[in-house]
A and B are shown apart, each in its own frame.
Chain A
Amino acid sequence: NAGVTQTPKFQVLKTGQSMTLQCAQDMNHNSMYWYRQDPGMGLRLIYYSASEGTTDKGEVPNGYNVSRLNKREFSLRLESAAPSQTSVYFCASSGWQNQETQYFGPGTRLLVL
Protein backbone atom coordinates (compact mmCIF):
# COMPACT_ATOMS: atom_id res chain seq x y z
CA ASN A 1 0.00 0.00 0.00
CA ALA A 2 2.01 2.97 -1.31
CA GLY A 3 -0.46 5.77 -0.39
CA VAL A 4 0.18 8.83 -2.59
CA THR A 5 3.05 8.67 -5.06
CA GLN A 6 4.48 11.52 -7.15
CA THR A 7 6.86 11.62 -10.09
CA PRO A 8 9.38 13.03 -10.69
CA LYS A 9 11.03 13.79 -7.34
CA PHE A 10 13.11 16.61 -8.76
CA GLN A 11 13.13 18.52 -12.06
CA VAL A 12 15.02 21.42 -13.58
CA LEU A 13 13.34 23.31 -16.42
CA LYS A 14 14.28 26.27 -18.55
CA THR A 15 11.85 29.17 -18.85
CA GLY A 16 9.20 28.35 -21.46
CA GLN A 17 9.54 24.58 -21.25
CA SER A 18 6.56 22.42 -20.39
CA MET A 19 6.21 19.43 -18.11
CA THR A 20 3.63 17.27 -16.38
CA LEU A 21 3.77 16.25 -12.74
CA GLN A 22 2.17 12.89 -12.08
CA CYS A 23 0.28 11.81 -8.97
CA ALA A 24 -1.41 8.53 -8.10
CA GLN A 25 -3.16 7.23 -4.98
CA ASP A 26 -4.16 3.70 -4.05
CA MET A 27 -6.55 4.50 -1.16
CA ASN A 28 -9.71 4.65 -3.31
CA HIS A 29 -10.13 8.32 -2.41
CA ASN A 30 -12.56 10.49 -4.33
CA SER A 31 -10.83 13.85 -3.79
CA MET A 32 -7.37 14.85 -4.96
CA TYR A 33 -5.43 18.11 -4.66
CA TRP A 34 -2.37 19.90 -5.96
CA TYR A 35 -0.54 22.34 -3.67
CA ARG A 36 2.61 24.38 -3.94
CA GLN A 37 4.77 25.20 -0.92
CA ASP A 38 6.96 28.28 -0.84
CA PRO A 39 8.95 29.87 2.00
CA GLY A 40 6.83 32.42 3.85
CA MET A 41 3.67 31.39 1.99
CA GLY A 42 2.85 27.95 3.37
CA LEU A 43 0.81 25.47 1.35
CA ARG A 44 -1.39 27.03 -1.32
CA LEU A 45 -4.00 25.12 -3.29
CA ILE A 46 -3.52 25.17 -7.06
CA TYR A 47 -6.33 22.89 -8.26
CA TYR A 48 -8.47 20.18 -6.77
CA SER A 49 -10.75 17.42 -7.98
CA ALA A 50 -13.67 16.52 -5.74
CA SER A 51 -14.41 13.40 -7.73
CA GLU A 52 -13.48 11.66 -10.95
CA GLY A 53 -14.40 13.85 -13.91
CA THR A 54 -14.45 17.16 -12.03
CA THR A 55 -11.76 19.77 -11.41
CA ASP A 56 -11.86 23.22 -9.81
CA LYS A 57 -9.47 26.11 -9.39
CA GLY A 58 -7.84 26.77 -6.08
CA GLU A 59 -6.07 29.84 -4.75
CA VAL A 60 -3.23 30.03 -7.34
CA PRO A 61 -4.31 28.33 -10.61
CA ASN A 62 -2.70 30.67 -13.15
CA GLY A 63 -0.09 28.99 -15.34
CA TYR A 64 -1.28 25.47 -14.52
CA ASN A 65 -3.70 22.90 -15.93
CA VAL A 66 -4.84 19.61 -14.45
CA SER A 67 -6.31 16.34 -15.61
CA ARG A 68 -8.15 13.82 -13.46
CA LEU A 69 -7.30 10.83 -15.61
CA ASN A 70 -9.26 8.34 -13.50
CA LYS A 71 -10.03 7.85 -9.82
CA ARG A 72 -6.39 7.05 -9.01
CA GLU A 73 -4.50 9.64 -11.04
CA PHE A 74 -4.39 13.44 -11.04
CA SER A 75 -1.76 15.24 -13.12
CA LEU A 76 -0.57 18.85 -13.07
CA ARG A 77 0.77 20.46 -16.24
CA LEU A 78 2.91 23.54 -16.67
CA GLU A 79 2.52 24.65 -20.28
CA SER A 80 5.21 27.35 -20.29
CA ALA A 81 7.27 27.30 -17.11
CA ALA A 82 8.30 30.58 -15.45
CA PRO A 83 10.87 31.20 -12.67
CA SER A 84 7.95 32.14 -10.37
CA GLN A 85 6.84 28.50 -10.58
CA THR A 86 9.98 27.32 -8.81
CA SER A 87 8.52 25.58 -5.79
CA VAL A 88 7.86 22.27 -4.09
CA TYR A 89 4.65 20.68 -5.39
CA PHE A 90 2.57 18.30 -3.28
CA CYS A 91 -0.27 16.10 -4.34
CA ALA A 92 -2.81 14.99 -1.72
CA SER A 93 -5.95 12.89 -1.55
CA SER A 94 -8.86 12.48 0.86
CA GLY A 95 -11.98 10.43 1.28
CA TRP A 96 -15.37 11.95 0.46
CA GLN A 97 -16.65 11.73 4.04
CA ASN A 98 -13.51 13.10 5.70
CA GLN A 99 -11.92 15.71 3.48
CA GLU A 100 -10.11 17.34 6.41
CA THR A 101 -7.81 14.33 6.60
CA GLN A 102 -5.60 14.73 3.58
CA TYR A 103 -2.82 12.31 2.72
CA PHE A 104 0.16 13.89 1.03
CA GLY A 105 2.71 12.57 -1.40
CA PRO A 106 6.49 13.09 -0.96
CA GLY A 107 6.58 16.16 -3.22
CA THR A 108 8.25 17.25 -6.43
CA ARG A 109 10.97 19.89 -6.25
CA LEU A 110 10.87 22.06 -9.37
CA LEU A 111 13.50 24.60 -10.34
CA VAL A 112 12.79 26.87 -13.30
CA LEU A 113 15.82 28.73 -14.63
Chain B
Amino acid sequence: QKEVEQDPGPLSVPEGAIVSLNCTYSNSAFQYFMWYRQYSRKGPELLMYTYSSGNKEDGRFTAQVDKSSKYISLFIRDSQPSDSATYLCAMSGTSGSRLTFGEGTQLTVNP
Protein backbone atom coordinates (compact mmCIF):
# COMPACT_ATOMS: atom_id res chain seq x y z
CA GLN B 1 0.00 0.00 0.00
CA LYS B 2 1.28 3.45 -0.89
CA GLU B 3 2.05 5.92 1.90
CA VAL B 4 0.14 8.63 0.04
CA GLU B 5 -3.00 7.91 -1.99
CA GLN B 6 -4.37 10.33 -4.56
CA ASP B 7 -7.10 9.73 -7.11
CA PRO B 8 -5.46 10.26 -10.51
CA GLY B 9 -8.69 11.37 -12.17
CA PRO B 10 -9.03 12.71 -14.78
CA LEU B 11 -11.34 15.37 -13.37
CA SER B 12 -13.20 17.66 -15.77
CA VAL B 13 -15.22 20.67 -14.56
CA PRO B 14 -16.84 23.75 -16.16
CA GLU B 15 -15.27 27.16 -15.73
CA GLY B 16 -16.34 28.80 -12.47
CA ALA B 17 -16.83 25.50 -10.60
CA ILE B 18 -15.41 24.81 -7.17
CA VAL B 19 -12.84 22.03 -7.37
CA SER B 20 -11.91 19.72 -4.52
CA LEU B 21 -8.72 17.68 -4.72
CA ASN B 22 -7.79 15.22 -1.98
CA CYS B 23 -5.06 12.97 -0.64
CA THR B 24 -5.01 10.44 2.16
CA TYR B 25 -1.89 9.19 3.90
CA SER B 26 -0.91 6.47 6.33
CA ASN B 27 2.23 7.85 8.00
CA SER B 28 1.24 9.70 11.18
CA ALA B 29 4.71 11.30 11.31
CA PHE B 30 3.92 13.60 8.37
CA GLN B 31 3.74 17.22 9.50
CA TYR B 32 4.48 19.24 6.36
CA PHE B 33 1.94 19.18 3.56
CA MET B 34 2.38 20.67 0.11
CA TRP B 35 0.46 20.98 -3.12
CA TYR B 36 2.42 21.23 -6.34
CA ARG B 37 0.94 22.15 -9.72
CA GLN B 38 2.35 20.65 -12.90
CA TYR B 39 1.42 21.92 -16.34
CA SER B 40 1.73 19.54 -19.27
CA ARG B 41 5.36 18.81 -20.17
CA LYS B 42 6.66 21.09 -17.40
CA GLY B 43 8.21 20.56 -13.98
CA PRO B 44 6.08 20.79 -10.82
CA GLU B 45 5.86 24.14 -9.02
CA LEU B 46 4.91 24.71 -5.39
CA LEU B 47 1.37 26.04 -5.01
CA MET B 48 0.54 25.75 -1.29
CA TYR B 49 2.49 24.81 1.84
CA THR B 50 0.94 23.98 5.23
CA TYR B 51 2.48 22.92 8.49
CA SER B 52 0.46 20.60 10.74
CA SER B 53 -3.35 20.86 10.84
CA GLY B 54 -5.62 23.69 9.78
CA ASN B 55 -6.47 25.81 6.77
CA LYS B 56 -4.43 28.11 4.60
CA GLU B 57 -5.87 30.43 1.98
CA ASP B 58 -4.12 32.08 -0.96
CA GLY B 59 -6.40 33.85 -3.40
CA ARG B 60 -8.70 31.30 -5.01
CA PHE B 61 -6.84 28.38 -3.40
CA THR B 62 -7.46 26.90 0.06
CA ALA B 63 -5.48 24.04 1.57
CA GLN B 64 -6.91 22.02 4.44
CA VAL B 65 -5.17 19.46 6.63
CA ASP B 66 -7.00 17.07 8.96
CA LYS B 67 -4.29 15.07 10.73
CA SER B 68 -6.81 13.12 12.82
CA SER B 69 -8.25 11.65 9.60
CA LYS B 70 -4.92 11.67 7.73
CA TYR B 71 -6.62 13.62 4.93
CA ILE B 72 -5.63 16.76 3.06
CA SER B 73 -7.57 18.80 0.53
CA LEU B 74 -7.02 21.57 -1.97
CA PHE B 75 -10.01 23.70 -2.96
CA ILE B 76 -10.02 25.91 -6.04
CA ARG B 77 -12.76 28.55 -6.19
CA ASP B 78 -13.98 30.10 -9.43
CA SER B 79 -11.87 27.67 -11.44
CA GLN B 80 -10.33 28.97 -14.68
CA PRO B 81 -9.12 27.19 -17.83
CA SER B 82 -5.60 28.25 -16.77
CA ASP B 83 -6.02 25.98 -13.71
CA SER B 84 -5.95 22.94 -16.02
CA ALA B 85 -2.95 20.96 -14.82
CA THR B 86 -1.95 17.97 -12.71
CA TYR B 87 -2.00 18.63 -8.98
CA LEU B 88 0.35 16.62 -6.78
CA CYS B 89 0.18 16.43 -3.02
CA ALA B 90 3.45 15.96 -1.12
CA MET B 91 4.30 15.38 2.52
CA SER B 92 7.25 15.09 4.84
CA GLY B 93 7.93 14.36 8.49
CA THR B 94 10.55 16.50 10.13
CA SER B 95 11.81 19.60 8.35
CA GLY B 96 14.50 18.61 5.89
CA SER B 97 13.31 15.05 5.41
CA ARG B 98 12.44 13.74 2.00
CA LEU B 99 9.13 14.47 0.33
CA THR B 100 6.65 11.69 -0.44
CA PHE B 101 4.46 12.54 -3.42
CA GLY B 102 1.00 11.41 -4.39
CA GLU B 103 0.39 10.18 -7.91
CA GLY B 104 -1.23 13.45 -8.98
CA THR B 105 -4.76 14.35 -10.12
CA GLN B 106 -5.24 15.57 -13.68
CA LEU B 107 -7.69 18.50 -13.79
CA THR B 108 -9.30 20.08 -16.87
CA VAL B 109 -11.38 23.24 -16.57
CA ASN B 110 -13.56 23.69 -19.62
CA PRO B 111 -14.45 27.21 -20.84
Number of chain B residues whose Cβ lies closer than 8 Å to a Cβ of chain A = 24
Partner of B104, one of A42, A58, A96, A101: A42
Main secondary structure of the interface of A (DSSP, over half): strand
- Closest Cβ–Cβ distance, residue A36 to chain B (whole Å): 11
> Which B residues lie within 8 Å of A34 (CB)?
none
> Which A residues lie within 8 Å of B4 (CB)?
42
Count chain A CB atoms within 10 A of each CB in B43, B90, B96 and give the residue with the most. Answer: B43
New A-B contacts (16) at CB < 8 Å, excluding given A42-B101, A102-B99: A42-B104, A43-B44, A43-B90, A43-B101, A45-B99, A50-B96, A58-B98, A100-B49, A100-B99, A102-B44, A103-B45, A103-B46, A104-B43, A104-B44, A105-B43, A107-B41
- Closest Cβ–Cβ distance, residue A103 to chain B (whole Å): 8
Q: How far is the CA of A100 from the CA of B50 in the complex (A)?
A: 10
Minimum CB distance partner of A45 in chain B: B98
> Which A residues lie within 8 Å of B98 (CB)?
45, 48, 58
Contact in complex: B44, A90 (CB < 8 Å): yes
> Which A residues lie within 8 Å of B88 (CB)?
42-43
Residue ranges of A at the interface with B (Cβ–Cβ < 8 Å):
4, 40-45, 48, 50, 58, 90, 92, 96, 99-107
Is the CB of B64 closer than 8 A to any CB of chain A? Answer: no
Q: How far is the CA of A58 from the CA of B97 in the complex (A)?
A: 11
Contact in complex: A102, B46 (CB < 8 Å): yes
Contact in complex: A107, B8 (CB < 8 Å): no
Partner of B42, one of A92, A96, A107: A107
> Which B residues lie within 8 Å of A101 (CB)?
34, 46, 49
> Which B residues lie within 8 Å of A107 (CB)?
41-43
Q: Known contacts being A48-B98, A99-B95, is A40 close to B103, with CB within 8 Å?
A: yes
> Which A residues lie within 8 Å of B46 (CB)?
101-103
Is the CB of B53 closer than 8 A to any CB of chain A? Answer: no
- Closest Cβ–Cβ distance, residue A67 to chain B (whole Å): 20
Q: How far is the CA of A4 from the CA of B92 in the complex (A)?
A: 22
